C-alpha cells in the first residue's frame, strides 16, 4: 500500500497485563502488511507497568518481519555497558539485514543510575563517550579507545553491523544543549512523545539552526516526532481513555491532554499536518488502546492524506 510522502512508523504494543504475545505477533504482521515504514520500542527497565525490554523485543520483531525498520525511542545508554550494547545491536542489525535505527537518550532525573551500578556524575560526558565506544567497535577492525570512562586497545568485535559505517543514531533531546549534542554526534532527532506539538515546532527550528551552524547538510539528518494518538469521533471518550493510560504509564493523567493528538480523522490529520509543516520528515505514531484497530485506521485513512 503506497502512502503519502511522510514516512510513518508505529509503536509496537509493549505494555499489557498479562503480556500479550499474540497481540504483538498480529500487530507486527499488520504493520508490515499495511506498509508502515518502521516499528518502534521504548525503554523503561524499572517500572511497575509490565513493559518489555526493548532490545529483546526488537529482536523478536525482527524475526517476525522482513521489511519494517526497527527502532528504539530511546535506549538509555548511560545505564548500559557500551561494549555489550554494541555487540547486541550489531547482532540485531545482522539478523534484521540492516533494518535497525538506534534511538538513544541521556535520560533524566527519573533514571536511578545507582540501581544499575553507574554514577550519575558527569552523565552527559559518559553518554557521549559510551556512544563513541560503540562507534569505534562498529567501525574499526581492531578498536582502540582512550577516554575518561573507557580505555582499551586493539579489541576485535565481529561481525560488524550490516549498515555502514553503523546503524543510524537518532537522539531523543529537548533542551538546546542536548539538541546541539544530537547534531554533533547523531544522524537524526526524534521529538519526545511526552512533549507537545508546540515544543516540537520550537525544537525543530533549533535543530535546523544548529545544523546550519555545524555546516551539516540537513538532508543527511532525520527529524522525527513520536505522537501519542487516539482516533475517535467521540472526542471526550478518546480523551478519557488517553488520560487513563497516561495515569498508569506516566503516573500523570494530565499529560495526555498536553501531548497527545486525538479526535476525529480530520482533526488528527490536521494536527499531524502541522507537525509535517514544522519540519517532521518522519512520524512515529503511538496508539495506546485498541492498537490493531487504531493502526488500521491510521494506515487506511490518515497516511494517504499526510
pLDDT digits (tens, 9 = 90+) for 220-249: 999 999 999 999 999 999 999 999 999 998
pLDDT digits (tens, 9 = 90+) for 141-178: 999 999 999 999 999 999 999 999 999 999 999 999 99
Question: Whole-angstrom Cα distance, residue 42 to residue 23?
Answer: 17
Residues 6+ apart with CB under 8 A from 212: 218
Cis peptide bond upstream of 293, omega within 30: no
Question: Whole-angstrom Cα distance, residue 101 to residue 258?
Answer: 28
Give the H/E segment covering residue 95: helix 82-95
Cis peptide bond upstream of 18, omega within 30: yes
- pLDDT at residue 3, rounded to an integer: 44
pLDDT digits (tens, 9 = 90+) for 81-140: 999 999 999 999 999 999 999 999 998 777 888 899 988 889 999 999 999 999 999 999
Question: Whole-angstrom Cα distance, residue 90 to residue 137?
Answer: 10
Region 4-19: what's the mean pLDDT?
91
What percent of the chain clears pLDDT 90, i.e. is strictly above it?
A: 91
What percent of the chain clears pLDDT 70, i.e. is strictly above it?
A: 99
Report the sign of the C-alpha dihedral through residues 141, 87, 58, 244, in that order: negative
The pLDDT of residue 2 is above 50: no
Let me know the angle formed at the C-alpha of 242 by 239 and 248, rounded to the nearest 5 degrees: 140
- pLDDT at residue 213, rounded to an integer: 97
Give the H/E segment covering residue 102: strand 100-105
CB atoms within 10 A of CB 306: 18
Question: Whole-angstrom Cα distance, residue 231 to residue 35?
Answer: 19
The cell numbers describing 284, all together, are 512515529
Asked if residue 42 lies in contact with residue 30, where contact means CB atoms within 8 angstroms, the answer is no
Question: Whole-angstrom Cα distance, residue 169 to residue 187?
Answer: 5
**Mean pLDDT, the chain, as a whole number?**
95
Question: Whole-angstrom Cα distance, residue 138 to residue 158?
Answer: 8
The helix/strand count (H/E) of the chain reads as 10, 12
Residue spans per domain, the chain: 8-305
Let me know the angle formed at the C-alpha of 53 by 69 and 287, rounded to the nearest 5 degrees: 60
The cell numbers describing 3, all together, are 502512502
The pTM is what?
Answer: 0.96
Which residue has 488517553 as its cell numbers?
Answer: 242
Rg of the chain in Å (alpha carbons):
19
Structural domain 8-305, CATH architecture:
Alpha-Beta Barrel (3.20)
Find the helix packing angle between 21-33 and 54-64, rounded to 10°: 60
Residues 6+ apart with CB under 8 A from 267: 235, 261
Report the sign of the C-alpha dihedral through residues 146, 158, 222, 290, in that order: negative
Q: CA 92 from chain center: how many Å?
A: 16
Cis peptide bond upstream of 110, omega within 30: no
The cell numbers describing 277, all together, are 509543516
Model confidence band, residue 69 (pLDDT cutoffs 50, 70, 90): very high
Q: CA 135 from chain center: how many Å?
A: 19
Distance set, CA 73 to CA 40, 192, 225 (Å): 7, 8, 10
Amino acid at each position: 500500500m503506497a502512502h503519502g510522502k511522510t514516512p510513518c512508523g508505529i509503536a509496537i504494543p509493549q505494555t499489557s497485563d498479562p503480556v500479550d504475545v499474540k497481540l504483538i505477533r498480529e500487530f507486527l504482521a499488520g504493520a508490515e502488511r499495511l506498509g508502515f515504514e518502521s516499528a518502534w520500542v521504548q525503554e523503561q527497565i524499572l517500572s511497575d507497568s509490565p513493559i518489555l525490554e526493548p532490545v529483546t523485543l526488537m529482536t523478536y520483531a525482527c524475526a517476525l518481519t522482513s521489511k519494517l525498520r526497527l527502532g528504539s525511542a530511546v535506549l538509555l545508554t548511560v545505564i548500559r555497558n557500551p561494549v555489550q550494547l554494541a555487540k547486541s545491536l550489531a547482532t540485531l542489525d545482522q539478523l534484521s539485514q540492516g533494518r535497525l535505527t538506534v534511538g538513544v537518550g541521556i535520560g533524566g532525573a527519573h533514571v536511578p543510575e545507582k540501581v544499575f551500578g553507574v554514577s550519575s556524575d558527569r552523565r552527559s560526558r559518559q553518554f557521549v563517550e559510551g556512544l563513541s565506544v560503540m562507534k569505534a567497535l562498529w567501525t574499526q577492525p581492531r578498536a582502540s579507545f582512550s577516554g575518561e570512562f573507557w580505555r582499551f586497545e586493539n579489541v576485535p568485535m565481529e561481525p560488524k553491523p550490516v549498515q555502514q559505517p553503523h546503524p543510524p543514531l537518532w537522539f531523543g533531546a529537548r533542551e538546546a544543549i542536548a539538541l546541539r549534542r544530537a547534531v554533533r554526534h547523531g544522524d537524526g532527532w526524534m521529538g519526545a512523545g511526552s512533549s507537545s506539538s508546540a515544543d516540537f515546532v520550537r525544537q525543530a527550528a533549533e535543530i535546523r539552526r544548529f545544523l546550519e551552524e555545524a555546516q551539516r547538510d540537513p538532508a543527511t539528518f532525520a527529524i522525527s516526532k513520536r505522537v501519542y494518538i487516539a482516533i475517535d469521533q467521540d472526542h471526550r471518550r478518546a480523551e478519557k481513555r488517553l488520560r487513563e493510560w497516561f495515569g498508569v504509564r506516566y503516573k500523570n493523567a494530565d499529560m495526555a491532554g498536553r501531548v497527545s493528538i486525538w479526535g476525529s480523522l480530520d482533526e488528527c490529520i490536521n494536527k499531524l499536518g502541522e507537525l509535517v509543516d514544522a519540519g517532521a520528515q518522519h512520524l512515529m505514531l503511538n496508539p495506546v488502546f485498541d492498537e490493531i484497530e487504531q493502526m488500521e485506521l491510521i494506515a487506511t485513512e490518515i497516511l494517504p492524506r499526510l
